[in-house]
């Protein structure tokens, strides 16, 4: 045996001789159990679940534009003026005043664009001031008290600009569209996760089956090696045949090591998808409970196109974007109009010596006042509004083109997915027959070798062919099942396929 072969066998001996780490637990899982765990525990999906929550809060913020504002104010004012002399050099005494005032009101915006303002104010003033006493021809200081106030209701209604749509109504509509879009984005992420878990599950099934195939290959190679050694000992076979069998055992053991390594990697992929505590699960040996089968499907390209163009989250999101662009265009067109607002106000005022007398006069309505009118304004060039309107119109045209491009991309993806699924199903049957023929060929060649009518080289070749055929059959089954998952993803029917209900916080 040359040095190269000795080096390979030495490495394999070290790899196979080292005892693998003990598994703390073995967990038998079906695909549906994996999907359920992923939906509950996948951290990436849990992060995405907050986006609809944020969008819902943003919608509440948009509606906050209609929240009324309540204002209340209390104030005390003091004023003192120094006395002096009049033209006759008579002394004018100083005057003082203390004013206590209360004011309050409520104002806000109504859904049809009208603003309202309800206000009330009452003030009571007490003090002293100089009064000329005609009899005595002197100024005297006399106390006084006076109360004044009013209640008023005022409204303003836009008639052109901000009439059928304004900033608040725009924000609410956009927030609704964004909330629906966030839910569709979450559905898209959920579909992607379910598809990824399906792929990881099928890959794990394939990896375990491939380990079994490689173990069978090692078993066949060792069996031939033992038989060749016996034949060499009795002189019925040349020593070269024994060396060839030893080399084949080493090669098959190397393939087994690679298969076991691939199995470990595939387990890690599935663990990562279905748990939020990787440290707890990293020693759990995941055993797929579902075997891969090739269930025949009826493929209808037109039906798949119809599903993809109506159920894909990306399509629904784009429809929402187009609706949003239409609303923004409507708003920008409204902003081109001049400002024409009608306004009106009505109220009652009152005055009395005592503070309490004001409220009696408010109720009696003896001192009404009102006003009505309109205000008109327009920018001279309106350059900003015109530019924003052109942008809004261009965005509408752009969104229509994007939708057409998206629809064509989806149709191409579905067309490719249907072709792949059909081809994969035919490939399953072809690889199954190839494996059956390879088993029969090896069995026949082993009988010929036992009768001295064949060589070890030919048996080894057929063993390799059988191992390859078994691996190809597993790959074909995996490819077919993954192609069905991909087709459902492109159609947007993944959740319905697994009876998964969409839930968000």
57-91 as b/e, with b when 16 or more CB fall inside 10 Å? ebbeebeeeeeeeeeeeeeeeeeeeeeeeeeeeee
pLDDT per residue as tens digits for the range 386-417: 999 999 999 999 999 999 999 999 999 999 99
pLDDT per residue as tens digits for the range 358-374: 667 666 767 888 999 99
CA distances from 145 to 125, 128, 149 (A): 6, 9, 14
* Domain ranges across the chain: 25-58+171-327+391-497, 76-109+114-161+339-377
pLDDT per residue as tens digits for the range 145-186: 888 888 899 999 999 999 999 999 999 999 999 999 999 999
- Residue 198 CA to residue 30 CA, distance in Å, equals 11
Q: Work out the average pLDDT over 215-243.
A: 81
CATH architecture of 25-58+171-327+391-497: Up-down Bundle (1.20)
Using DSSP, state whether 108 is helix, strand or coil: strand
DSSP H helices in 234-277: 239-274
Residue bearing the bigger pLDDT, 252 or 423:
423
pLDDT per residue as tens digits for the range 28-83: 999 999 999 999 999 999 999 999 999 999 999 999 999 999 999 999 998 888 77
CA distances from 162 to 109, 146, 170, 394, 419 (A): 12, 44, 10, 22, 54
Please state the pTM of the whole predicted model: 0.82
The pLDDT confidence band at residue 16, using thresholds 50, 70 and 90, is: very low
């Amino acid at each position: 045996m040359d040095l190269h072969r000795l080096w390979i066998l030495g490495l394999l001996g070290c790899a196979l001789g080292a005892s693998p780490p003990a598994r703390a637990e073995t967990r038998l899982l079906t695909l549906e159990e994996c999907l359920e765990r992923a939906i509950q525990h996948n951290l990436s999906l849990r992060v995405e679940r907050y986006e609809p929550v944020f969008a819902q809060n943003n919608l509440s913020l948009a509606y906050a534009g209609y929240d009324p504002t309540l204002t209340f104010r209390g104030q005390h004012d003091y004023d003192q003026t120094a006395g002096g002399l009049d033209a006759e050099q008579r002394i004018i005494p100083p005057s003082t005043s203390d004013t206590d005032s209360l004011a309050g009101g409520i104002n806000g915006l109504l859904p049809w664009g009208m603003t309202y303002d309800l206000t009330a104010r009452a003030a009571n003033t007490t003090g002293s001031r100089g009064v000329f006493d005609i009899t005595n021809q002197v100024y005297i200081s006399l106390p006084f008290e006076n109360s004044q106030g009013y209640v008023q209701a005022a409204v303003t209604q836009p008639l052109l600009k901000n009439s059928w749509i304004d900033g608040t109504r725009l924000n609410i509509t956009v927030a609704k569209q964004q909330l629906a879009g966030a839910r569709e984005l979450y559905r898209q992420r959920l579909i992607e996760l379910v598809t990824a878990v399906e792929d990881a599950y099928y890959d794990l099934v394939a990896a375990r089956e491939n380990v079994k195939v490689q173990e069978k290959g090692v078993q066949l190679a060792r069996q031939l090696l033992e038989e060749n050694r016996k034949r060499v000992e009795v002189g019925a076979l040349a020593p070269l045949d024994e060396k060839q069998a030893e080399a084949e055992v080493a090669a098959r053991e190397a393939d087994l090591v690679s298969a076991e390594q691939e199995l470990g990697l595939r387990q890690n992929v599935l663990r990562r998808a279905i748990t939020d505590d990787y440290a707890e699960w990293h020693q759990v040996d995941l055993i797929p409970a579902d075997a891969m089968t090739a269930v025949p499907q009826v493929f209808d390209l037109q039906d798949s196109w119809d599903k993809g163009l109506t159920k894909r989250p990306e399509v629904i999101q784009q429809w929402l974007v187009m609706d949003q662009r239409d609303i923004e265009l409507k708003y920008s067109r409204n902003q081109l109009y001049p400002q024409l607002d009608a306004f009106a106000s009505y109220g009652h005022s009152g005055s009395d010596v005592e503070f309490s007398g004001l409220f009696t006069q408010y109720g009696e309505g003896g001192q009404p006042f009102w006003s009505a009118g309109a205000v008109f304004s327009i920018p001279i060039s309106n350059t900003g509004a015109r530019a924003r309107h052109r942008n809004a119109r261009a965005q509408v045209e752009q969104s229509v083109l994007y939708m057409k491009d998206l629809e064509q991309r989806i149709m191409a993806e579905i067309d490719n997915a249907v072709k792949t699924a059909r081809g994969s199903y035919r490939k399953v049957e072809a690889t199954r027959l190839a494996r059956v023929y390879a088993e029969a060929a090896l069995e026949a060649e082993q009988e010929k070798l036992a009768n001295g009518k064949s060589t070890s080289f030919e048996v080894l070749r057929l063993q390799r062919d059988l191992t390859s055929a078994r691996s190809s059959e597993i790959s074909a089954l995996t490819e077919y099942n993954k192609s069905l998952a991909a087709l459902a993803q492109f159609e947007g029917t993944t959740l319905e396929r697994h009876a998964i209900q969409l839930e968000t916080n």
